Amino acid sequence: MRENTQGRYTTIIIPTLLRESIFKTMSYIRQYTEAEVIPYYDPTVNEYVVRNLVAEGVTTPYISFIDDDAYPSENWYRNLLRNIRRGCDIITGYVYSNGRFFGQAYHAVGTNLTVKTEVFKRLGGFEEDWGNPKFGNAGYGWRSDTDLLWRYLESGGDNYCHDDGLLVYHPKPFSSEFILPIEIEFIKRHKPYVVKYFYDIDPRVVIVNDVFIDGKVSDKLLEWYKNAKELTLQMWNSVLLSAKKHGVKPTVNVDEFLKELAKMFSSSSNTNVTKNVNQT
């Protein structure tokens, strides 16, 4: 990989809301990288629209994305360059936020995502429609980062790199809002990848699929209730609240669905979980 005429490999795009945290973001980028950096402010659109807009003028071989409330680790740029020199088309790593690590392989978190510029433009950038009022007006975006990676894979892309040592810190909890209309479209578009990479880590995805798409209790949902009932019930309530907020109707009668779920638990002698489901 040859550097461009400015001697830089990547341009870091920062969609900013002019929060005070951007000073730390910029400080770390200036101190620990040699990348070009472009912060951009437009409060009228979500961050994916901003990223696409700025990316149109990027001339470096790669584009990196970091938010204005996050900052790279001291070794982030060194690890990034290692993957760039390998010629990877899309490079992802982990985000440490609120005491947890996010961004397993094949997930893609937008605040720690690097894409070869020509690949990004060939894919048409991020999905912007998922931020418009038709899908719930995602002010902070939802699923467009993962969608970009999966569209790349579905198009035949085979040069994806995930690096566990590529770490970005995101001190505060993520502001992204779960928006049911977008989640439904996301699952419909990428069902095989959703099943493979999300079913074992997020019961909410399974609930959305079973209640709003397939219309039946899946073995995976039953498994979630058996093994993590409190989390599953919490996610169940989250999904129903979003459905009410955005006026999305399920493909099943929710009461009958819960009765069927309770019946399945009864047959497996899981009376405690059955009681909790009926109280939801």
Which pLDDT score is estimated for 88?
Answer: 98
pLDDT at 160: 98
Q: Which residues pair with 162 in a beta bridge?
A: 92
270 pLDDT higher than 80: no
Judged against a pLDDT cut of 90, whether residue 13 lies above it is answered with yes
Distances from the Cα of 20 to the Cα of 14, 17, 35, 68, 183, angstroms: 14, 9, 22, 9, 31
**CA–CA dist 39, 61 (Å, integer):** 18
How many angstroms separate the CA atoms of 33 and 61, rounded? 16
Question: Does residue 100 register a pLDDT over 50?
Answer: yes
Q: DSSP letters of the chain?
A: ----TTS-SEEEEEEE---TTHHHHHHHHHHH---EEEEEE-TTS-HHHHHHHHHTT--SSEEEE--TT-EE-TTHHHHHHHHHHTT-SEEEEEEEETTEEE--TTT--GGGEEEEHHHHHHTTSS--GGGSGGGT--TT--SHHHHHHHHHHHTT---EEEEEEEEEEE-SPP-PPP-HHHHHHHHHHTHHHHHHHTTTT-HHHHHHHIIIII-S--HHHHHHHHH-HHHHHHHHHHHHHHHHHHTPPPSS-HHHHHHHHHHHHHHTT-HHHHHHHHH-
pLDDT digits (tens, 9 = 90+) for 20-33: 999 999 999 999 99
Nearest alpha carbon to residue 65 among 16, 102, 21, 132? 16
**Please, are residues 8 and 35 in contact by the beta-carbon 8 Å criterion?**
yes
Q: How confident is the model at residue 279 (pLDDT cuts 50, 70, 90)?
A: very low
Q: What's this model's pTM, rounded to 2 decimal places?
A: 0.88
For residue range 116-165, list pLDDT tens digits in order.
999 999 999 999 888 776 676 666 778 999 999 999 999 999 999 999 99
